[in-house]
Structure 1
Amino acid sequence: MALTGVLRPGHVSIRVLELEPAVKHYRDVLGLIEVARDAQNRVYLKGWDEQDHSSVILREADEAGMDYMGWKVDSPATLKKLAADVEASGLATDLSWVPAGELLATGERFRFTVPTGHVMELYAQKDIVGNNCGTDGQDVNPDPWPDNLKGIAPSRFDHCLLYGDDLDGTVKLFMEVLGFGLAEKVCLSENKDFMIGAFLSCSNKAHDVAFIRQPVKGKFHHASFELRSWEQVLRAGDILSRTKTSIDIGPTRHGITRGETIYFFDPSGNRNEVFAGGYIYYPDKPPITWYDESLGPAIFYHDRKLNEAFLSVFT
């Protein structure tokens, strides 16, 4: 069955305190490809195997964090339908249409704020630039990967983990309006119906976005990028060490999603993750449930204990 509706996370706009040190980090250490800069001095980057124009937008600001997360849908008709559904649900606020071209190479976007305070947007069109693996950069007789990759070199932007207060409202919007599935959840052992974490998928991935219940609005825990193997995650650790990049935790494994991971910070304090592994998710798969008493192995399967800084540091 083909994916329909919301296809995948398409882009994330990240606020940074100083633009050029951030560009150096995301381009030379993380290893994204710089694609363009616009008249607003925003910098556009992409993973090497992403076909679309860009997936990460950097903007200099006085406060670090996430401006918004964008979701690509399968058609302009779906964009209009989902926009109407979001509006009719009453679950979102600050609804607006952003005209085509406001973001380089991107069609019109429908923007809204979810109950946890995060700004989301849906769009149907973004220019395809290819991945430089085949003839003329397109998928004609392609090689497995392009030449001249830098740094860690993830293949794509994969997901975000976000902190906010109204977890229930946000999960309701993503599941009942946007059609996401609940792959995994974290609940209180003393109240098994009370979720403190939700891992949501619009595809076959273990998650495309995750939300953690915290008494804050609109906070950004991390943006994650996909690698091909555990060996690549270990290599990422070596690159982070030799470039003196601030490492948060890892390499290690998650219990939740089964992913192999390492976390680190950009120069503005925004957390990044590169990961490999996980499992294939289908909509008929029952959600995996974790309880708060097992949060140690749920988050860090090897240590089997919580890391307070990992839980409390966000932008």
Structure 2
Amino acid sequence: MRPLRSRARWEDDVREPVLDVAHLGHIELLTPKLEESRAFFVDVLGMTESGRRGGSVYLRAWDDYERYSLQLTAATVPALGHAAFRARSPQALARRVEAIERTGLGIGWHEGELGHGPAYRFHDPDGHTIEIYYETEWYEAPEALRPALKNQAQRHPARGVGVRRLDHFNCLAVDIAANRRFFEDNLGFRLTEQIVLDSGVEAGMWLTATNKSYDFAYTREAHGIRGRFHHVTYALDSREAVLQAADVFLEAGVPIETGPHKHAVQQTFFLYVFEPGGHRVEVANAGARLVLAPDWKPIRWTEAERRKGQAWGLKTIDTFHTHGTPPLPREHGGPADDGSEDLAGDGIAS
């Protein structure tokens, strides 16, 4: 049995955790096909429209407690608009803003957004736009959507896939280590799993602010292009629900990129599709694993281990490793005049 450490040793070794971030709040996706993207998320994924303002449509899954978890905004090319985290308190928000401003990556306060109060926006080291806020609008279901149980946000829509809640997102980044340190040091996220290549270069990170095994992930961008987005994930209740989702996508004519399979990293049972605007969307039984240990030791996956592929299922399709939004420039194998795209991958990312 491993000997216990002395109290003094604990105090020397354990850094006081920063618990100022409550959870992932919402994602904004820019889309060149706003109404087609909206139809996908409403009719196929089973989400509910909860508002419109300007060039944006706001959508929610049936068990999201806030007014929305997805903002679709009209744009010329698909890309991540921003990702948003809710702070635990006004004081927590103030502390994180102070820490971010010291990094020089702050953008400033953003106000007047539908559904939540003032948000502080900033860039991560790779150039993605992130925001943190506290004040929020809790969803009040209209009579037609009022659930039978008062501890549920909305009646189950019984439409399409019927996604339950926003689970996580995945960005592509050139320097994984720099982004990991930024989120750990300035926002208090905990690393749960990572990929480290034989060269020592970090190729993937999975971080959490909650007891979920991860709230977001960053994996290595294979072309050295900053600020690209990989996918957004909505959670389902079971593996069977993911299998049923595959049938829904088939009937709706939605292209399935890969899955259903099981990831080795984080053990997520997954299915990936593309929505009309060009973004990759995942549905997954993603909430099965919890990280309850306050002194969790991050799992490190080696290059050889990751080249084995998924836990089980078919080999990961090449597009999974390099396709992201916005599309690659033509000099990096991006869309040619005929709309095709060369997306050969490096085979490392989860």
TM-score normalised by structure 1 residue count: 0.90
Q: Does 1:105 align with 2:119?
A: no
Equivalent position of 1:124 in the other structure: 134
CA displacement at 1:166 relative to structure 2: 2.3
- Matched residues, number: 304
Deviations, residues 41-99 of structure 1 (Å, cap 9, x unaligned): 310001100111111000111010111000001111111110001111x2x52421112
Equivalent position of 2:80 in the other structure: 66
Deviations, residues 108-145 of structure 1 (Å, cap 9, x unaligned): 000000001111000001100146899955963x5797
Q: 1:309 to 1:147 in 2, by over 3 A?
A: closer
Q: 1:131 to 1:204 in 2, by over 3 A?
A: farther
Residue identity opposite 1:43 in structure 2: V
CA contact (8 A) 1:132 1:146 kept: no
Secondary structure in 1 matching 2:271: strand
CA displacement at 1:268 relative to structure 2: 1.4
- Counterparts of 1:109-188 in structure 2, within 5 Å, are 109-130=119-140, 140=150, 146-188=155-197
Unaligned runs of 5+ in 2: 1-17, 326-350
Equivalent position of 1:284 in the other structure: 295
CA contact (8 A) 1:95 1:111 kept: yes
Alignment equivalent of 1:37, drawn from 29, 52, 55: 52
Equivalent position of 2:323 in the other structure: 313
Equivalent position of 2:334 in the other structure: none
CA contact (8 A) 1:296 1:306 kept: no
Residue identity opposite 1:301 in structure 2: A
Secondary structure in 2 matching 1:44: strand
Q: Does 1:55 align with 2:62?
A: no
Secondary structure in 1 matching 2:231: strand
Unaligned runs of 5+ in 1: none
CA displacement at 1:27 relative to structure 2: 0.6
Q: 1:267 to 1:304 in 2, by over 3 A?
A: closer
Secondary structure in 1 matching 2:62: coil
Equivalent position of 1:14 in the other structure: 29
Q: Please identify, of 12-21 and 165-174, the stretch whose mean Cα deviation from structure 2 is larger.
A: 165-174
Q: 1:133 to 1:159 in 2, by over 3 A?
A: farther
Deviations, residues 245-291 of structure 1 (Å, cap 9, x unaligned): 01110111111111100000000110000000441113422111111
Equivalent position of 2:254 in the other structure: 245
Q: CA–CA distance in 1 between the matches of 2:135 and 2:189?
A: 20
- Counterparts of 1:249-264 in structure 2, within 5 Å, are 249-264=258-273
CA displacement at 1:305 relative to structure 2: 3.5
Residue identity opposite 1:208 in structure 2: D
Q: CA–CA distance in 2 between the matches of 1:184 and 1:26?
A: 30
Structure with max Cα Rg: 2
CA displacement at 1:294 relative to structure 2: 2.1
Secondary structure in 2 matching 1:284: coil
CA displacement at 1:148 relative to structure 2: 3.2
Equivalent position of 2:214 in the other structure: 207
CA contact (8 A) 1:297 1:304 kept: no
Q: CA–CA distance in 1 between the matches of 2:153 and 2:127?
A: 40
Equivalent position of 2:232 in the other structure: 223
Equivalent position of 1:25 in the other structure: 40
CA displacement at 1:4 relative to structure 2: 3.9
Q: CA–CA distance in 1 between the matches of 2:152 and 2:171?
A: 36
Q: 1:144 to 1:79 in 2, by over 3 A?
A: closer
Q: Which structure dedicates a bigger proportion of its chain to strand?
A: 1
TM-score normalised by structure 2 residue count: 0.82
- Counterparts of 1:88-99 in structure 2, within 5 Å, are 88=102, 90=103, 92-99=104-111
Of all paired residues, the percent bearing the same amino acid is: 27
Q: CA–CA distance in 2 between the matches of 1:308 and 1:51?
A: 36
Alignment equivalent of 1:196, drawn from 189, 203, 210: 203
The CA RMSD over aligned residues, in Å, is 2.2
Off by >6 Å, runs of 4+ in structure 1 = 131-135
Deviations, residues 154-212 of structure 1 (Å, cap 9, x unaligned): 11111111001122221111111111111100011x23x43110000111111111011
